[in-house]
Structure 1
Amino acid sequence: MISAAPPGGQGKLVSHILPPASKVDVLRTAAVPSETTLARADAAAFVLPAAEPEKSLAALPHAQLWQALHRRARGSSKTPLLVSRLPNRRHTLAAVGFLRPEAAGFERLDLAGRLARELVPSGAAALQCHAPGFDDAAAAAVLEALASAALASAAPMPHRKSEPPAPPALRRIDLHGAGELDVGRCTAIAEGNHLARWLATLPPNELDSVSYRRALQALARREGWTFRFYDERALERLGAGAFLAVSRANAHRGAGIVRLGYRPAARRGLRRIGLVGKGICFDTGGINLKAQKGMYTMHGDMQGSAVAVGTLLAITRSRAPWAVDCWLALTENEIGPRAYRPQEIVQAMNGVTIQVVHSDAEGRMALADTLTLASRAKPDLLVDFATLTGACVNALTERYSGAFTNRPGLEPALQAVGRSSGERIWCFPMDEDFDADIESPVADVQQCSAESKGDHILAARFLSRFVEADVPWVHVDLSSAERKHGLAHVPTEFTGFGVRYAAHLLADDDFLDALGTAG
């Protein structure tokens, strides 16, 4: 049980802010499930090639049961899942799904999520997974998806109920025939995704920029990261007028920019990566106040920062060979006598003057100075994550997220990683002529356009002014950060989208080759 948190908005116990450690072991085995081994299992998931289902089912333990269920399910509008208790002494709960061998990552994860939602909530402590009939590479990909889905479904989320729900029972996942699957990397990504979702779910009276910073400091000690905090006084000395415009209405003076650093044991010749995250712990909209419907989930407006730190955790747990700095812009966007207003002119850290148009475009303001700091460190790649614009949701829905880059040659590889990882992105244009829509008669640039057409593109053009020209940069507008009933293998409304994508991106040879020629 996660105990109820103490009252008040600051000084939270770190134990309430960070999630509990995973208690699930993921193991590879070359053994093939049989009626005998299934009789010792609580639950089992099978994924079979979709082309010849009857033939594939004939090779499964309890084949006649599955074939009868399949015949009964024919004519279903959606590819059916076959779910049944097995006729053994344990009454093992088992489920069978079907998948095209050439299926892309999202399709694999979506099927795995459907299977996990049937099996994990049943109270199973041990889950067996098998993907017979696929070649080695395809089987490994399917089993990785099944493990990821089971871990996502079993990950506890914050609650403050007087009568707490039963904790997840899952303690072991056996992957049969997983071959060369990197189980450690799979669990590392799942842990990073869990951290991102957990943080986004916390109520705003518990996770504010003060408690968030303290939790990150504790996490840095635990994981061996370096930690530095640029408080408001330090940011004022640096001339971070864009960030400070947003933070000045806060009741506390705890806002600032956190820098976390990961360095692997081998430190020579490392590729240097910068991660940046928008961490607006609650967004009222400011003077341009949001309506109730738009404000209801604004405790989750810090998901960009949660994804960035979740990615850093996944990188650390997988012992990736990169030097990574993670920059998090932590503040609230409050309303009050000191709140920033339309038509103010502020100067960002790099000297660019900004005409404020709308106080609810605060994310790009906080990110502007954070990107300047991060790009001055001269990483080989800079990636930022932000729940930045409703326009991106309107363009893509919550199923995809948008991507923008100052290196157009990276776009094919960026989208390819989305297809293979299952966290899909779509690249938008960033042509210079869009700048005409954010020209200002009184400053170097307008914060946004009053017309609101293509705001996701204009926001990216705005942010590009704060990235050093010699730094390859990717901006991810997290339109799929929040989706009712979850997305793909993730069952929760806050999806943690981006952790899996970034981990796959940084390990993708085609992307790294493109990065080498795009810089």
Structure 2
Amino acid sequence: MTNLSLASAESASLDVDAIVIGVVSDDSGPALAPGAAGVDQAFQGRLIDALSGLGAAGKAGEVTKVPTLGNLAAPLVVAAGLGESYDDEALRRAAGAALRSLAGSGSVAVLLPAATPNEVAAVATGALLGNYAYLNYRTGDGHKQPVEEITVVSEAEATADAEAALERARTLADAVTLVRDLVNTPPSDLNPEALADAARRVGEESGLSVEVLDEKALVEGGYGGIVGVGQGSVNPPRLVRLAYEHPEAAKTVAFVGKGITFDSGGLSLKPADSMDWMKSDMGGAAAVLGALQAIAAVGPKVKAVGYLAIAENMPSGTAQRPSDVLTIYGGKTVEVLNTDAEGRLVMADAIVRAGEDEPDLIVDVATLTGAQLVALGTRTAGVMANDDDVREKVVDAAGRAGEPAWPMPLPEDMRKNLDSSVADIANISGERWGGMLTAGIFLKEFVPDGVRWAHLDIAGPSFNQGQPYGYTPKGGTGAAVRTLVQVAEDVAAGAL
């Protein structure tokens, strides 16, 4: 586990393997960001000349390394580009990019701008998230380990607020790391029971109340969506309920996460090139688990309940068939026209069940549709809601947390496309277009009357199939954890 600390020190005296500084870009060329003055002084004021000579321009995402040649105790300076101007997210990404480039180092001091508690939190969060590596299945000694010690150097004296900001960064990074590890775990080692066991362990360690329904309890309870999706697998489904409650809580927020530990598509089988990353289809449930862990540590004055709807979607002689009719928890019936539209079936059960907690707000998060990637790409989540104000406030919360999100509509005229000739509703539309919106419209049907609700589709953001960037690694990203924590804090504050 990486040791994280806060310091206010002269850069020349820092006995570390590398020092990270910030560089901004303007019309006259690169310039040093606040925090780098001491390093520049050690270079006799010629650090920018050295960086420019190596091609540094201060662009966001840029990382340039300069040997100190004895000018500092540290042997290496790493300049991270911040762009023309920077906010908290730019600081997070710069710190993350720098730490990714320093994998295998023993200790790193980060001298990015950190004059306020918010900046301290941003730099620390980015550094910790960028320092992530999933090495559980690596053998031998040829793989670079994460940096062992990270020191965030603040331009101001350490204060209680700065220390609290550092602790919050550690809490959020731990939660995101949990989610990344779960998403990256092969489905052979993370079936529904294993994910439920992990949730029980995390819940108990975090002081949460935990309830796990096994396959028998799900059948007896009438959870037809989860049972139907899971019946094709030898690994039976689970529904997990986690709950945190502050003694002064006046409001309740319920989170619901999609937990398909592997999605083959069922009998509506996916093509092979769409299946190799479907271990990530439980990213929504993992995000809810990570968020509850962080919420319990942060301690907002709210009651937060999390539901993990967990199943494995496999083809077999016992699998559900296209044209089967399922009875969702609460009694509404669904005609299954495509078994690869399974996430909305397990989510429907859990959303109805979440309504029994009488929440002031339900937020569900799911790797729900390929249409989300078509509409918004791989980095931006889609946000839908049954209340325009809720939708805008959830998008705002995501932005403040540093997670890109975009508001999307739920057009009423599209509801008729889900009409079924034999059941209350069909699980897919007869039309090709607007698949992300159709999925949201389907889920809306199961939200209890009078309850505010928002839906986050994180199909793209939850798993990075491309190259690492900023603090985001290849593979599981931990998307939506920070957003859900921010939502819980906003509900506690009466802002949402």
Report the TM-score when normalising by structure 2. Answer: 0.89
Aligned: 1:215 with 2:192: no
Displacement after TM superposition at 1:363 (Å):
0.4
Please tell me the residue identity of whatever aligns with 1:495.
T
Is residue 105–residue 419 contact of structure 1 (8 Å, CA) maintained in 2?
no
Q: Tell me, in whole angstroms, the C-alpha distance in 2 between the residues paired with 1:73 and 1:155.
A: 27
- Match for residue 152 of structure 1? 129
Question: Quick one: structure 1 residues 445 and 495, their matched pair in 2 at CA, closer, same or farther if it must change by over 3 Å?
Answer: same
Match of 2:489 among 507, 510, 517: 507
Please identify, of 66-75 and 296-305, the stretch whose mean Cα deviation from structure 2 is larger. 66-75
Is residue 287–residue 481 contact of structure 2 (8 Å, CA) maintained in 1?
yes
Q: Tell me, in whole angstroms, the C-alpha distance in 2 between the residues paired with 1:314 and 1:100.
A: 31
Aligned: 1:490 with 2:472: yes
Question: Quick one: structure 1 residues 115 and 351, their matched pair in 2 at CA, closer, same or farther if it must change by over 3 Å?
Answer: same
- Match for residue 297 of structure 2? 317
Aligned: 1:202 with 2:182: no
Q: CA-to-partner distance for each residue in 1:394-414, whole Å, 9 max, x for gaps? A: 101111011111111123322
Displacement after TM superposition at 1:212 (Å):
1.7
Q: SS at the partner of 2:475?
A: coil
Please tell me the residue identity of whatever aligns with 2:341.
A
Please identify, of 184-193 and 167-176, the stretch whose mean Cα deviation from structure 2 is larger. 167-176
Please identify, of 157-166 and 234-243, the stretch whose mean Cα deviation from structure 2 is larger. 157-166
Question: What is the total number of aligned residue pairs between the two structures?
Answer: 480
Question: Quick one: structure 1 residues 70 and 108, their matched pair in 2 at CA, closer, same or farther if it must change by over 3 Å?
Answer: same
Displacement after TM superposition at 1:285 (Å):
0.5
Q: CA RMSD in A?
A: 2.5
Identity over aligned pairs, percent:
26
Displacement after TM superposition at 1:339 (Å):
0.8
Displacement after TM superposition at 1:328 (Å):
0.4
**What is the 5 A alignment of 1:249-264?**
249-252=232-235, 254-264=236-246
- Match for residue 11 of structure 2? 34
- Match for residue 322 of structure 2? 342
Report the TM-score when normalising by structure 1. Answer: 0.86
Q: Tell me, in whole angstroms, the C-alpha distance in 2 between the residues paired with 1:141 and 1:102.
A: 16
Question: Quick one: structure 1 residues 77 and 226, their matched pair in 2 at CA, closer, same or farther if it must change by over 3 Å?
Answer: closer
- Match for residue 283 of structure 1? 263
Displacement after TM superposition at 1:303 (Å):
0.7
Question: Quick one: structure 1 residues 278 and 468, their matched pair in 2 at CA, closer, same or farther if it must change by over 3 Å?
Answer: same
Question: Quick one: structure 1 residues 452 and 33, their matched pair in 2 at CA, closer, same or farther if it must change by over 3 Å?
Answer: farther
Q: SS at the partner of 1:302?
A: helix
Question: Quick one: structure 1 residues 65 and 491, their matched pair in 2 at CA, closer, same or farther if it must change by over 3 Å?
Answer: farther
Is residue 104–residue 419 contact of structure 1 (8 Å, CA) maintained in 2?
no
* Unaligned residue ranges in structure 2 (runs of 5+): none
Match of 2:248 among 257, 268, 279: 268
Please tell me the residue identity of whatever aligns with 1:71.
S
Question: Quick one: structure 1 residues 55 and 287, their matched pair in 2 at CA, closer, same or farther if it must change by over 3 Å?
Answer: closer
* Unaligned residue ranges in structure 1 (runs of 5+): 1-22
Is residue 249–residue 340 contact of structure 1 (8 Å, CA) maintained in 2?
yes
- Match for residue 124 of structure 1? 106
Question: Quick one: structure 1 residues 158 and 341, their matched pair in 2 at CA, closer, same or farther if it must change by over 3 Å?
Answer: farther
Q: Tell me, in whole angstroms, the C-alpha distance in 1 between the residues paired with 2:327 and 2:463.
A: 32
Question: Quick one: structure 1 residues 106 and 395, their matched pair in 2 at CA, closer, same or farther if it must change by over 3 Å?
Answer: farther
Q: Tell me, in whole angstroms, the C-alpha distance in 1 between the residues paired with 2:245 and 2:449.
A: 25
Match of 1:193 among 171, 176, 180: 176
Q: CA-to-partner distance for each residue in 1:429-449, whole Å, 9 max, x for gaps? A: 013222021112222111011
Please identify, of 484-493 and 58-67, the stretch whose mean Cα deviation from structure 2 is larger. 58-67
Displacement after TM superposition at 1:156 (Å):
4.1
